[in-house]
Amino acid sequence: MKEGVNPVLKRRILTDSGAGWHATAKFWGSQRLSSKELRDAGLKATLPRRKILEVLEQQESRHVSAEDVYRLLVETGEDVGLATVYRVLTQFESAGLISRHHFEGGHSVFELNLGQHHDHILCVKCGRVEEFVDELIEQRQRDIAEKAGFSMTDHCLYIYGICAECQKAKS
């Protein structure tokens, strides 16, 4: 059931244009995870799983905690308990459908795993999360791993700070 690119998967990502960083909308793949993907991941497409997947797909911010997912389900009238949300998210993570981030000072945050590597910059005041990719940083990390005799399998980089809006609000 492919109807072109799903606008749901359009994400903002910071890219370096040479003249500075700009947020650009970027389509990250056309795969909307469906019941089929759930089955392919070895998970039966139960109602809670499908509902939780829907929430993860529709979230504007794309980085949500288990509590956020629970709250959003309750808001749309779904009868799903917090324990179920935790359990399903853990199953999704084990199946590689979602990634878990341990952002400092907060609880775990989840995002759909769309296969494209990116790093995160986040505001310690309001919790907003932006994504970025910097080829120079990527390359330097590969170099470091290589020098240390490692074959790099993964890395994560979180930049913590205070976003422009929160800086304005303070002054």
Q: Catalog residues that contact Zn ion under the rule CB under 5 A.
A: 111, 123, 125-126, 131, 163, 166
Q: What are phi and psi of 99, to 5 degrees?
A: -110, 150
Considering beta carbons, is residue 79 or 165 the nearer one to Zn ion? 165
C-beta of residue 100 within 8 angstroms of C-beta of residue 93: yes
Rounded distance, CA 40 to CA 34, Å? 10
Quote helix, strand, coil % in the chain, to nearest 5. Answer: 35, 20, 40
Closest CB 29 distance from Zn ion, rounded Å: 13
Considering beta carbons, is residue 43 or 163 the nearer one to Zn ion? 163
Tokens (6 digits) for 132: 């970025």
Closest CB 20 distance from Zn ion, rounded Å: 19
Considering beta carbons, is residue 121 or 123 the nearer one to Zn ion? 123
Considering beta carbons, is residue 61 or 84 the nearer one to Zn ion? 61
Work out the angle between the directed axes of helices 82-94 and 47-58 (0-180°, nearest 10): 80
Closest CB 124 distance from Zn ion, rounded Å: 8
C-beta of residue 119 within 8 angstroms of C-beta of residue 131: yes
Closest CB 164 distance from Zn ion, rounded Å: 8
